[in-house]
Amino acid sequence: MYNDLIRELSVLESSKKQEQVIALLRNKKGLEGKQNPDLQLSASAVVFKGEKMYFIEHPYQKELLLPAGHVEEGEKPYETAKREFHEETGLTADTPRLIDVNLINIPYNAVKEEKAHQHIDFRYLLKLRDEPSELAELPVFLLSKTEAPEEFKKYFLEGKTSLT
């Protein structure tokens, strides 16, 4: 079922993490939405404005993260990244390019009573479109490399080389 996602991963440099993700995609079903309480697909948007990257404040974890969300049934991860970026920031971005995949441990959420689980997170570099913004769902931050959370600093080089 996830052969298209496995093929998409071939653009990334081979790693143990990538091999682990491929094994999970080959052996699991129902990863869209929240069908599987243990493992779910998500996608994140890496978007720059000049030398700065967009972040949101996660509503439950209260930390700065990339705009992201669950891949819904019938949706491709790159579509999720574009949709979530728009919903969470009020801005529009397109021209997705897969730059990373990550396995994320999601802690227990007492507000939603969701148990701890994992996400296979596809991360896409998107190009910001020059369109008027709409109302953002979440607090939005535009941060430089020095201000960004450590986990995301590696994407600053990716953004410079790909979008200039």
DSSP string, 36-55: SSSEEEEEEEEEEETTEEEE
Angle ∠(115,118,120) on CA atoms, nearest 5: 150
d(CA 123, CA 158): 12
Q: Are 101 and 21 in contact (CB under 8 A)?
A: yes
Q: What is the dihedral of CA 137, 161, 25, 149, to 10 degrees?
A: -50
Name residue, tokens 């939405």: 33
Q: How far is CA 41 from the centre of its chain?
A: 10
d(CA 102, CA 122): 7
- CA 37, 83, 80, 138 dihedral sign is negative
Q: Is 147 helix (H, G, I), strand (E, B) or coil?
A: coil
d(CA 77, CA 81): 6
pLDDT tens per residue, the chain (164 residues)?
Answer: 699 999 999 999 999 999 999 999 999 989 999 999 999 999 999 999 999 999 999 887 889 999 999 999 999 999 999 999 999 999 999 999 999 999 999 988 888 888 999 999 999 999 999 887 889 999 999 999 999 999 999 999 866 555 54
Reported pTM: 0.92
Fold of 3-163: Nucleoside Triphosphate Pyrophosphohydrolase (3.90.79)
Q: Are 70 and 42 in contact (CB under 8 A)?
A: yes
Q: Give the tokens for residue 89.
A: 């920031």
Q: Are 98 and 121 in contact (CB under 8 A)?
A: no
Q: Give the tokens for residue 82.
A: 């574009």
